[in-house]
Structure 1
Amino acid sequence: MDPNTNDKLTVRFLKEVSITKAISVIILISTLAFLFLIWLIYYKDTAATTAAWVNQLPALNALLNSASTVLIISGFIAIKKKKYVTHMKLMLTAFVTSSLFLISYLLYHNFVGHTIFPGEGWIRPVYFSILISHIILSAFVVPLVLTSYYFAFSGKFKTHRKVSKWTLPIWLYVSVTGVVIFFILNSYV
C-alpha cells in the first residue's frame, strides 16, 4: 500500500488509543446496546397506539439489510482488487446502512414489542433455527464490526485483516438472514 494512501485511511487520535482501551469500550458499548435491545423487545410495554408508518419499518429494515449485504460483498471484492479507498467507502456505507437498520429496528420494536411467529409445521423449526442463529451472531457482529473499524482507522491493517476474516462472514450472515426472516414472517402474517 502506498504510504500516502495509508495516511488517508487512518484517524490520528485512534492511533494513540491503546488496543485494550479500545476493545474495552467496544465491548461495553456492544453489551449495553444488546441489553437495551433485549429490554426493548421483551420487557418494555408496547405502545397503546401505533402510527401507520410503523408497519412499513420491517420492509425498510429488509431493504437496508439487503443494501448492507450488497455493500459488504462489493467491499470484499474491492479489497481483493487492492482498491483500498473504494473498499473503505463501501464498508463505511455498509456501516451506515446497518446503523440505519438498527435505528429503524429499535423504533419498530419500541412500538410493537416482540413479534410472534404464527407459522406451523415444518417451517417453525426452520424459522427458529434461522432466527436463533441470527440473534446469537447479531450479538457478536457489533463488536466485531467496531473492532474491525478501530484497527483499520488506527492503521493496524494486519490486525484489521485478521479480525475482518471473522467479521465478514458473520456480518453477511446476519444481514442475509435478517432479510430471510422478514420474508418468512411476511408470508405467514
Structure 2
Amino acid sequence: MLKPSIAKNDRLANWLIGIFSLVVFIVVVVLGKFKLDVELGFDVHVFATINAFVNASIAVVLVAALVAVKKKNYELHKKFMMTALVLSILFLLSYIAHHLLAGEAKYGDSNHDGIVDEAEKLAVGAMRIVYLVILITHIILAAIILPFILFTAYRGLTSEFPAHKKLARITWPLWFYVAVTGPVVYFMISPYYN
C-alpha cells in the first residue's frame, strides 16, 4: 500500500470538499442560464467536441485505474486517478465555456428556433425519450458525483484504504457512467447545434 500523500484532517477536508462542490454546482447552474453574445471567429461548439473527447478520455483512464488497482499496482492506480481528476477540471472549464458561448440546444430542434414543435418531435420519435433519459440521468449523477469523487480521493490520499475502497465501490461506477454518457449525449445533440 502507499504512504499518505496528504495529512489527515477530516474537518478541514469536509469543509473544503463541501464548499468546493457547492460552488461548482452553483457556478454551473447559474452560468448555464446565461449566454454571452460574442463573436469569437470560430465555431464555439468546438468546446462540446472537447467535452466529449475529455469525457471519453476520463472513461478510459477510469478503466485503466480499475485494472491497475485489481493488479495491486497502487502507484499506477493513483497516477491514473489523479489524471482523471485533472481531466475533470479541464472538462468543467470547457463545459462552462461551451454553455456560456453556445447556449442550449434542444434535441429534435431541426430548424434551430429553440422550440421543438410536434412535427419535430414526430421526426425524432422515441429517440427523444432515449436522449432525455440519458441526459437526465447524466445531469443528476454529474451534479451529485463531485463530492463523492473528492471524498474518495481524500481517503486514498490519506491512506485510509478501507474507507477509500468502500467509497470507490459507489463512486467509480457513477463517475464512469457520467464519463461514458457525456459523449453519448454529445453525439445525440450535436446535429441540433446551430
The TM-score, its normalising length taken from structure 1, stands at 0.88
Counterpart of 1:70, as a letter, is: V
Counterpart of 1:153, as a letter, is: L
- Bigger share in helix: 1
CA RMSD of aligned residues (A): 1.6
Counterparts of residues 31-180 of structure 1 (less than 5 Å): 31-42=22-33, 44-118=34-108, 120=121, 121-180=125-184
Q: Percent identity?
A: 34
CA-CA distance at 1:74 after TM superposition? 0.6
CA-CA distance at 1:124 after TM superposition? 1.1
CA-CA distance at 1:70 after TM superposition? 0.4
Q: Which of 14, 36, 56 is the aligned partner of 1:23?
A: 14
Q: Using the alignment, how far apart are the partners of 2:53 and 2:134 within structure 1? A: 18
CA-CA distance at 1:53 after TM superposition? 4.4
CA-CA distance at 1:174 after TM superposition? 0.3
User: What runs of 5+ residues in structure 2 fail to find an aligned partner?
Assistant: 110-120
Q: Contact conserved, 1:40 with 1:113, CA < 8 A, in 2?
A: no
Kindly provide the CA deviation profile for residues 89-139 of structure 1, in whole angstroms up to 9, marking residues without a partner as x.
Answer: 111111111211111111111112222222532111111111111010001
Q: Which of 171, 182, 185 is the aligned partner of 2:186?
A: 182
May I ask how many residue pairs the two structures share in their alignment? 179
SS at match of 1:124: helix
Kindly provide the CA deviation profile for residues 4-50 of structure 1, in whole angstroms up to 9, marking residues without a partner as x.
Answer: xx22xx224x32x1x243123212211111111011112x2432434
Q: Contact conserved, 2:68 with 2:76, CA < 8 A, in 1?
A: yes
User: What runs of 5+ residues in structure 1 fail to find an aligned partner?
Assistant: none
Counterpart of 2:143, as a letter, is: A
Q: Contact conserved, 1:72 with 1:90, CA < 8 A, in 2?
A: yes
Counterpart of 1:174, as a letter, is: V
Q: Contact conserved, 2:35 with 2:99, CA < 8 A, in 1?
A: no
CA-CA distance at 1:65 after TM superposition? 0.6
